[in-house]
């Protein structure tokens, strides 16, 4: 009888430990950075894509979405977030943009680093990633 109880306890413990393996994959996120420029990114519907690029908004330049198919990948509401490298005023840092995989398909995410008020001026930098959502 003791062995049956011990065996049952082991089965319950294993079931509890492995129940996290079947977690909701739609809550996952993937981060890409500057060196991933031009690479392929694979996501599942519901995943979040985090893009972290160097920038310095105190110069007037900011990363913006140049083009993307919003039925596949949509930028999260709100402006891009900025995380300075130091506490010094005017310090450069990382610009963080978040996108949600909204539907299956393929799209090219193109980001441009420019001053929003300079119309007709080419961006200083561009960044792109090919995104496949399953």
The model's pLDDT over 16-52, given as tens digits with 9 standing for 90+, comes to: 444 444 455 667 999 999 999 999 999 999 999 999 9
Measure CA 19 to chain center.
26
101 near 133, Cβ under 8 Å?
yes
Q: Whole-angstrom Cα distance, residue 64 to residue 110? A: 9
Q: Whole-angstrom Cα distance, residue 107 to residue 84? A: 30
At 26 the pLDDT is 61
51 near 111, Cβ under 8 Å?
yes
Question: What domains can you pick out in the chain, each with its CATH number?
Answer: 24-133 (2.60.40.2020)
Residue 63 has which token pair? 């990363």
Residues paired with 133 in a beta bridge: 43, 105
The model's pLDDT over 55-67, given as tens digits with 9 standing for 90+, comes to: 999 999 999 999 9
At 5 the pLDDT is 52
Q: What's the pTM value of the predicted model, to 2 decimals?
A: 0.78
């Amino acid at each position: 009888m003791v062995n049956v109880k011990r065996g049952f306890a082991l089965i319950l413990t294993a079931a509890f430990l492995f129940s996290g393996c079947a977690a909701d994959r739609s809550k996952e996120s993937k981060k890409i950075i500057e060196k991933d420029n031009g690479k392929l990114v694979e996501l599942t519907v519901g995943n979040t894509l985090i893009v972290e690029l160097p920038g310095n908004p105190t110069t007037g330049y900011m990363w913006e979405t140049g083009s993307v198919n919003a039925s596949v990948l949509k930028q999260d509401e709100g402006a891009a977030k900025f995380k300075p490298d130091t506490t010094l005023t005017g310090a450069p840092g990382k610009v963080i943009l978040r996108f949600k995989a909204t539907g299956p398909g393929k799209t090219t995410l193109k980001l441009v680093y420019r001053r929003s008020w300079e119309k007709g001026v080419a961006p200083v930098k561009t960044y792109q990633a090919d995104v496949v959502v399953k």
